[in-house]
Structure 1
Amino acid sequence: MDFRALVAGMDDVIFGVLGDTALFPDLEQPVRGMFAAPWRDPQVGRLNTQLREPRFVVRPADADLVEEGQVITVQLPAPDGGDYDVVRKEPDGTGLVALLLRPRP
């Protein structure tokens, strides 16, 4: 077994047990990933902006199934669950892809 196959097997277990689910456009099955909404909180002068940057981290093959500007539905309880616009995709440095999100009004 090569290294990539070993890592793919580990990803299957980790995403299957610990992952969150999201619905992607045109897919019947939910996609498993990891949702996070860290506070960035950059300061502008003395004003704390308290910005959140929600993201849904998925495997590259799953990231290929969604385009920037599409809507995904994260299946979590409030305040994190709901509909989000995919703003952009970026590698997260671990072989996965982070979908950077914007909450829909």
Structure 2
Amino acid sequence: MGFRELSDDMDALVLDGLGDMATVGGREIAGFFSAPWLQPRMGRINTALREPQFEIRVVDAAGIEPGQLVVVDLAKQDGGGQYDLVKLEPDGSGWVALLLRAKA
């Protein structure tokens, strides 16, 4: 088994155990949600996170486009709710950040 296959298996295990679920354009996808109002603090320095994001694997990003509705399946206090997909940002490591804007 090659590195890419091992990496895909590891990603799937991490998503199963730690991932969040969201519906993107009507399709359920596992990923990692993060929001600026919930940002982690490192000592007294805030992280550089500015907009809500949902990180997904590149293989799950097929057919996803800006303007689609993203519904994050979390409690409201954890950032769950409806968002507009503003932009997709691949990071070059097999993951894509979906940059979100809260629905008005």
Query: What is the TM-score when the length of structure 1 is the normalising length?
Result: 0.80
Aligned length: 92
How far the C-alpha of 1:26 sits from its partner, in A, is 3.4
SS at 1:5 equivalent? helix
Aligned residue type for 1:6:
L
Higher strand residue share:
2
Alignment identity in percent? 48
The equivalent position to 2:66 in structure 1, one of 65, 68, 92, is 68
The answer for the alignment partner of 1:100 in structure 2 is: 99
Structure 2 CA distance, aligned partners of 1:11 and 1:32? 11
- Which structure has the larger Rg? 1
The answer for the alignment partner of 2:85 in structure 1 is: 86
Higher helix residue share:
2
Structure 1 CA distance, aligned partners of 2:26 and 2:17? 24
Query: What is the TM-score when the length of structure 2 is the normalising length?
Result: 0.80
- Alpha carbon RMSD of aligned pairs, Å? 1.7
Q: 5+ unaligned residues in a row in structure 2: which ranges? A: 38-48
Per-residue Cα deviation, 1:74-93 (whole angstroms, up to 9, x for no partner): 00111300110000000235
Q: 5+ unaligned residues in a row in structure 1: which ranges? A: 40-50
Aligned residues of 1:84 and 1:101 also touching (Cα < 8 A)? yes
Aligned residues of 1:63 and 1:99 also touching (Cα < 8 A)? no
